[in-house]
Amino acid sequence: MDDTSPISLSPLHETHLRAGARMVPFAGWNMPVQYKGITEEHLAVRRACGIFDISHMGQFRVEGPASRDWLNGLLTNNTTRLGIGQGQYTLLLNENGGVIDDLILYRTGAEAWFLVVNASKTAEDLAWMQARLLPGVTLSDESPRYAGMAIQGPESAAVYQQVAGAHMELPDRNGIAEFISLRGGTCVVCRTGYTGEDGFEFFCEAEEAPYWWNEFTEHGAVPCGLGARDTLRLEMGYPLNGNDLSPDRTPLEAGLGFFVDMDKAAFTGREALAAQKVHGLPSKLTGLRLTGKGPPLRAHYQVFSDDQPVGELCSGGISPSLGIGIAMAYLPPALATPGTALEIDIRGKRHPAETIKKPFYKKP
Amino acid sequence: MSAPSNARFATSHEWILTGESESPVGISEHAQAELGDVVYIELPEVGRIVKAGESVAVIESVKAASDIYAPVAGEITAVNPAAAAETRLVNTDPYGAGWLFKIKPSNPAELDTLLDEAAYLAQAG
């Protein structure tokens, strides 16, 4: 995103300002980073229910008789395993097996699909897919049409029930359902999220967004910003594209092999992944933590092993649930074994750290 | 939350108390609100001689690390271990228990170049 690009505003922008949100630029959007405080919002999601504006995320619809096989050739997961109403986490790769984007693909009909992609990659994903369109497939960018919110936390299903349960039952885990609101707009509800808690993502027509946001918050969902969204996903070891995923790293290096089906029909990037399976991975996305009290870990801090630089942090922070600095870095596989002692350089001082199995946080 | 009447401010958001031989320094109410939850503080060594505007401490919130600058030149004569141990004090009591370190100014006249609270808030927006 260059500096001359216009900044996009969420349909919930005025709602955020009235609620006292602190706004920051993110992926070309002006979005709330926090309302009352990142720690408080983080814990609200772990303990009860929080709501995030995710209107910056992109939504595509793909339809047509060839749509299933076309998507199967572009994405790493297996589209033939999805029944109608089901969704799967999947990745869009370049020819070298590097990650363009990670996304969720939902099947909304026999020949109809709904894709939710990262804000920072919406234009790139769209261009990549449009350039590879085949007869029998239509692709439409619905991003401008929809506002989005993620309602997350152990009480989110109860909140949903009170707000929208009369319209449509909450789908099962990873599932999708759609309904028409009383105001006439399409509402899409997906039982997915980015926090490690039960919850759902809710997409509605942009003009209905303030109505639904107010409904969810009045029934107990606590407004949360991108700050808490980042600490929550980091505690789970979920990658953030742009930090932890890149065109130069494969999903195998990122530890996402579960979402890559090497046995299905050919897909873009498959050959590079097959070669890595034969020759071994050059690096592994590894969890780290400071072994003592120390500063929060942050992206780009250097990691050392026996006084040699071995990588840099791609994501980092302080875990509100655990109270310690946690991070992820691409490290040589020999150093990725949990419990490996390392050091992290913070402002010229080396702090003792160790590798640790993800997720960093496990539900009590 | 208002600052003590003898507090003077640097545009980089630190306050310092005037009229004392060793002047406590902290960050403003406005700055703590902007930073959000403070989770880590790195304090200077006692005895260090610092120049005005020199980076002497680091405050880390969940999202970012911020340098804290000496508002005037002098010697660091004390640090506040309570704030380093209980970092929330900087958020909850920035003009009291959340002070960071004390400076013995080498040129007390330098204090007069700093802003009073009203002038600081006016320029901080």
Q: What is this model's ipTM? A: 0.81
What's CA A61's distance to the chain center, in Å? 19
Cβ-based contacts of B37 with chain A (< 8 Å) = 37-40
* CB spacing of A295 vs B58 below 8 angstroms: yes
Distance in Å from the first CA to the final CA of chain B: 16
Reported as a single tens digit per residue, the pLDDT across B75-122 is: 999 999 999 999 999 999 999 999 999 999 999 999 999 999 999 999
The mean pLDDT of A313-334, rounded to a whole number, is 94
The mean pLDDT of B20-42, rounded to a whole number, is 94
The mean pLDDT of B42-70, rounded to a whole number, is 95
pTM (predicted TM-score):
0.92
Q: Which two tokens stand for residue A105?
A: 């693909």
- Residue pair A239/A43 in contact (Cβ under 8 Å)? The answer is no
What does the pLDDT read at residue A4? 56
Cβ-based contacts of A225 with chain B (< 8 Å) = none
Reported as a single tens digit per residue, the pLDDT across A75-134 is: 999 999 999 999 999 999 999 999 999 999 999 999 999 999 999 999 999 999 999 999
Does residue A231 carry a pLDDT above 80?
yes
Minimal C-alpha gap between B66 and chain A (Å) = 12
Does residue A333 carry a pLDDT above 80?
yes
Q: Which of A22, A40, A295 faces B40 most closely, judged by CB atoms?
A: A295
Percent of chain A with pLDDT over 90: 95
Does residue A166 carry a pLDDT above 70?
yes
Does residue B72 carry a pLDDT above 70?
yes
- Residue pair B52/B71 in contact (Cβ under 8 Å)? The answer is yes
Cβ-based contacts of B39 with chain A (< 8 Å) = 39, 296, 318
* CB spacing of B63 vs A227 below 8 angstroms: yes
What's CA B29's distance to the chain center, in Å? 11
Contacting B residues, span 97-116, partner chain A, CB-CB under 8 Å? none
- Cβ of A318 under 8 Å from any chain B Cβ? yes
Cβ-based contacts of B60 with chain A (< 8 Å) = 295-296, 318
Cβ-based contacts of A33 with chain B (< 8 Å) = 63
- Cβ of A36 under 8 Å from any chain B Cβ? no
Which of the four pLDDT bands, split at 50, 70 and 90, describes residue A323? confident
What does the pLDDT read at residue A2? 47
- Residue pair A94/A179 in contact (Cβ under 8 Å)? The answer is no
Q: Which two tokens stand for residue A49?
A: 């229910």
Minimal C-alpha gap between B105 and chain A (Å) = 27
The mean pLDDT of A53-63, rounded to a whole number, is 98
Q: Which two tokens stand for residue A119?
A: 């804000």
User: Is the model more confident about A52 or about A292?
Assistant: A52
Does residue B125 carry a pLDDT above 80?
no
Nearest CA in chain A to B36: A37
What does the pLDDT read at residue A5? 66
The mean pLDDT of A44-65, rounded to a whole number, is 98
What's CA A352's distance to the chain center, in Å? 30
DSSP, collapsed to helix, strand or coil, labels residue B37 as coil
Cβ pairs A/B, distance under 8 A? 39
Percent of chain A with pLDDT over 70: 99
